[in-house]
Amino acid sequence: MPSKTIAGKTVEVTEDGFLVNPSDWTEEIAAELAKEEGIEELTDMHWKVIRFMRQEFEKEGHIPTIRKIKNAGGVPIKDLYNLFPDGPAKKAAKIAGLGKPQGCV
């Protein structure tokens, strides 16, 4: 696996830039990954989605779907697309330090 230095920490990443080990994730890494994805600043609403995704991953062992984020996380789908344009599941998972969601090409 390739490695990359993000926010001063060297981590393993996939070819698509997803963290290999979710335990390597920090909020500082999230902010840098967000910038790489074209999101200059993470708002409270971004953090709500990111933290929900990480909690669900820790609890369930898999990345939550958009539907689960909407229903259990309380974030409308339209808002998810505004927060994470051009593929909210993929971008949010990447910024949250999780793997590439299943079904994302």
Cβ–Cβ < 8 Å for 75, 48: yes
Cβ density class 24-56: b for 16+ within 10 Å, e for less: ebeeebbbbbbeebebeebeeebebbbebbbeb
Active site residues: 104
